[in-house]
Chains A and B, each alone.
Chain A
Amino acid sequence: MYPGQIMPGQIWGWIIALYLFLAGMSAGAYTTAYLSQRLYPHLKVVRWAGYIVAPPLVIIGLAALMIDAEAGFFHPWRFFFLYIGRPTSIMAIGVYILTLFTPLALYRTVVSLAEIWREGGEKKWPLGLDRFFARPPEKFRWLVEGRDWIDFFGLVMAAATATYTALLIGNIHGVPFWNNSVLPVLFVVSAFSTGIAITLFTATAWDPKVQEHYAPYLTLSTSLKGFELFLLFVLLYFSWYGDQAAKASVADLLWGRLAFPFWVLLVFLGLALPLWYELRERKHLLAGHVPVLLEGGFAGKGSADAGNLSARLFSTSQLMHLFAIAGGFVLRYLILLAGHFVYFLPTWRFY
């Protein structure tokens, strides 16, 4: 950077990092819930947890975005131009995606609430929800019963949301550290990984016993975290051998002004520690479950063993999920802060 020059991370600060993180995590939570619905339909708590946390996350993220866009915040009618102003802008495309994803996530929350109501013995619920769930108007039956194709459309929009959060900054040619092919993959993987973490965290808080069945989720989560570490390495490697400004970004992260949060908050606390703990937890769960699976189900001795295990791991595993979630935010914030604008003149050639 040049002395006195404003950094990209000063233009877009922590609020935008929070928005990118929350939108991505919401998409990840929806995806986790959808996969759970398809692959492990008996794990209802995990499915409900994912579907219920997804909408508030993306809505809070959108609120953060609107607060950061102060001119729009004080003149809300200007947000209308997002739909008609320039439809080819990646941000406008993101607005279209979020306009679809948010109601789809909300719809699935209503379906999940109806499932929970039925599961809980169809008791009386506030706001007349019990009456709505029991006798939905003909036009709104889909909202209570659910429709597979709408769920799948929600999944597609969740994937689009996670991808968009990465392309939003990946599209900026003036910041070489952001403008590369690795970053979108890293952001999508991180979105999925944090989505699993928030879903498992919520599901554990809801019903600690469900932890007995976390092995497949932990397999996925640990794979994603390992992949995330690899992608981070690749991003730094290619940036170091790329543009001068990207090289400055790598130096900032590895040994410069962002080295402490990078190594301690992101690499150690946000990725490596949760990865190590989840691998350990997974190993214990698999050891407890394998014989039971061979017997054809989760019930029985293995389940009881795993129950003891869950009691022992309860607080620590949730803490690790929180670390992984915080790591997702730190990743985005650090990548925003580490961005450098290109140098105006090439320094490696003499004219």
Chain B
Amino acid sequence: MARYGMLIDLTKCAGCMACTVSCQFQNELPPEVHYIKFYQQEYGTFPDVSLVNIPVQCQHCENPPCVYNCPTGASYIADGGVVLIEESKCIGCKYCMTSCPYNTRVLDEETHTPMKCVFCFDHVKEGEQPMCVQTCLGDARVFGDLEDPESELNKQINEKKARPLRPDLGTKPKIFYVW
């Protein structure tokens, strides 16, 4: 069984937001709704300081608080470790939205249910790459199977010493960042 993950190399990310826009096209989202949100953060201690663009989407955690806190079972972990939402079970309590430390879920104004990145799961099942990975101009994104030790994803995670965001929260995210 595959366990899908992603690497985002922030040292290659120019913050062009092509991934955000292509994701909007792919998922037919209105302009104001983003599955991939861009944040900027300063880090370090003077004089070794830097400013980094952080594209953040659903981290498809292995211990997803959104899934464990969802009272109706609408949020669930599907094949490949992808976190999905079954709209027909969702009551719109928004507990998943507050539970997600990465703040990646957005509310659909029409259905009143949360939406988020699904790793373009339908395309991935067909052997394609997610749209954000296909579109990335700087080649900052790598998608693959974390279970496959020979995958390009695992090689780059090891070479670049990529780490997830806030691993201390215990959510075990499957998106790894290089910064």
Contact = CB atoms under 8 A, between A and B. Distances in A.
Interface of A: 2-6, 8, 11-12, 65, 68-75, 78-79, 81-82, 84-86, 88-92, 95, 168-169, 171-175, 341-348, 350-351
Contact of A71 (B98, B112, B169): B112
Contact of B94 (A11, A73, A342): A11
B41 A69 contact: no
Contacts, number: 139
B25 interface: no
Contacts of A2: 39-41
B89 A91 contact: no
Interface string B8-21: 00000000000000
A82 B72 CA distance: 5
B44 A95 contact: no
Contact of A78 (B37, B68, B69, B72): B72
B98 A172 contact: yes
B48 interface: yes
Contacts of A79: 91
B100 A81 contact: no
**Which 10 residue pairs across A and B have the least CB separation, nearest first?**
A174-B101, A72-B91, A71-B92, A85-B73, A81-B72, A85-B72, A70-B112, A91-B71, A2-B39, A350-B44
14 contacts: A12-B94, A70-B112, A71-B90, A81-B89, A85-B72, A85-B89, A86-B68, A89-B70, A173-B99, A341-B102, A344-B56, A344-B166, A346-B43, A350-B44
Interface of B: 37, 39-45, 48-49, 52, 54, 56, 65, 68-74, 87-95, 97-103, 111-113, 165-166, 169-171, 179
A139 to B, nearest CB: 34
A91 B93 contact: yes
Contacts of B88: 78
Nearest to A65: B93
A87 B13 CA distance: 42
B39 A344 contact: yes
A342 B72 contact: no
